[in-house]
Structure 1
Amino acid sequence: MYVPPHFAESRPEVLHDLIDNNPLGILFTNGKSGLDANHVPFELHANEGPQGVLHSHVARANSVWQDIATGDEVLIVFRAGDAYIAPNWYPSKVEFKKQVPSWNYMVAHVYGRVTIRDDERYVRGMVARLTRIHEAKQTDPWKMTDSPKDYIDMMLKMIVGIEIEITRLVGKSKLSQNKEVRDILGAGNALKAQGKNVIGDAMLAAAAVRAEQA
């Protein structure tokens, strides 16, 4: 990924937070059948290993777990949000006419070594944790014990665990940091007016940092 210095996000805690809040990653592999990409929900254990460990699962019917082998390098991409940026949102465009359209986004690229975990204990524990995390936001949280034990046992046999030890984290937050503070504010407020608060709020925060540094 091309990362100019002004867009680089290297703080591990910020990238971990991005992953926690946007757990559906794109798992890229290059196995026996060539390049593949799968959309998979992950659970991050930031304190495991030197840089953290990702835990997930795929359907047993998905050939990816047989196409790759334990020890293979994989890439997972997590995206926090994106938004089109119109030139007219920059006050300097009105003054100097020198702005062009752009696209802002926040992403984390995670490189790591995969371990295939085809064992019931690992899968059961991981699914239970994922369920607790995401069902906690529901008014009537679903629990694994809500379904018959034999049904849950059958469903768990239909998935395979995937564990990824993180070896490198690369982050990019493209929020117009290469623009004037007034331009960052103008575009950020325009996005918020359209309800695109993720990138809008991030741009306003970036403008505040730039203003403090001025």
Structure 2
Amino acid sequence: MYTPAAFREDDPAILHAVMRAARLALLVSAAPDGGAPEATHLPLLIDPDQGPHGTIVGHLAKANPQWRSLAAGAAARAIFPGPEAYVSPSNYASKAEHGRVVPTWNYVAVHAIGPVEVIEDAARLHALVSRLTDHHETPRAQPWAVGDAPEPFIAGQLKGIVGIVLRIETLIGKRKLSQNRSAADRDGVARGLAASDDAADRALAQAMAAEPSD
């Protein structure tokens, strides 16, 4: 990921927070035959205390050929998107001063790169899917648990997936939040996005508000 110094984020706590907040990640890996990279959208969980940069866990369908290239040692990159929004030149204070402004896009993203262990053991798979389920069900008033389904049914379902554990060797964070603009321009962008009817725009405005000022 191209990351100019002004937008680079290295604080592990901030990066892990972005990863935890991402509802759906993208797992990309090299194809075994040198063809186009393989990619799968899937929920992933971060274990920040496992290893120097943490580990990421999730699972793939066994019918998905990507897991075979991962098992063979293909390099993998997990991409976690954060808030993002279009930035109109009209929001820049400098537009009225000289007009030399163009559109851009502000966004937050984290890339985690490392080798992947593929899990086929039924007990480890059961623990993995239970953890994923609990993570997403806990906020619900009446959370569903893997144990609510008949055990033979769950055992059959587990035969159709493989677990993955990505050991993070490189963690790259980018927070492109108009840090390369003047304070007046940044304020104009934040106010414009905060006033938008689009929830995604307002989420980006909140991210900009949390960014330390000069």
TM range (shorter): over 0.9
1:21 equivalent in structure 2: 21
2:77 equivalent in structure 1: 75
- TM score, norm. by length of structure 1: 0.93
* Cα distance between partner residues in 1 of 2:21 and 2:121: 27
How far off is 1:84 after superposition? 0.4
2:6 equivalent in structure 1: 6
* Cα distance between partner residues in 2 of 1:106 and 1:149: 41
How far off is 1:70 after superposition? 5.1
2:124 equivalent in structure 1: 122
Q: Secondary structure at the match of 2:28?
A: strand
Q: 1:205 to 1:182 in 2, by over 3 A?
A: farther
Determine if the alignment matches structure 1 residue 45 to structure 2 residue 47.
Answer: yes
Higher strand share: 1
Q: Secondary structure at the match of 1:3?
A: coil
Determine if the alignment matches structure 1 residue 61 to structure 2 residue 63.
Answer: yes
RMSD of aligned C-alpha atoms? 1.3
How far off is 1:23 after superposition? 4.6
2:204 equivalent in structure 1: 199
Identity level (%): 35
How far off is 1:6 after superposition? 0.6
Where does structure 1 lack aligned partners over 5 or more consecutive residues?
A: none
- TM score, norm. by length of structure 2: 0.93
Q: How many residues align?
A: 209
How far off is 1:25 after superposition? 1.4
How far off is 1:87 after superposition? 0.4
* Cα distance between partner residues in 1 of 2:45 and 2:139: 16
How far off is 1:146 after superposition? 1.8
Task: Write the letter of the residue equivalent to 1:204.
Answer: A
Post-superposition CA distance 1:66-97 (Å, at most 9, x none): 13325432111110121100001111211221
Q: Is the 8 A contact 1:70 1:114 kept in 2?
A: no
* Cα distance between partner residues in 1 of 2:194 and 2:206: 7
* Cα distance between partner residues in 1 of 2:71 and 2:148: 35
2:161 equivalent in structure 1: 159
* Cα distance between partner residues in 2 of 1:9 and 1:150: 46
Q: 1:70 to 1:45 in 2, by over 3 A?
A: farther
Aligned mate of 1:144, from 143, 146, 152: 146
How far off is 1:145 after superposition? 2.0
1:182 equivalent in structure 2: 184
* Cα distance between partner residues in 1 of 2:23 and 2:74: 22
* Cα distance between partner residues in 2 of 1:133 and 1:151: 21
Q: Which runs of 4+ in 1 moved over 3 A?
A: none
2:107 equivalent in structure 1: 105
How far off is 1:118 after superposition? 1.1
* Cα distance between partner residues in 1 of 2:114 and 2:120: 19
* Cα distance between partner residues in 1 of 2:31 and 2:175: 30
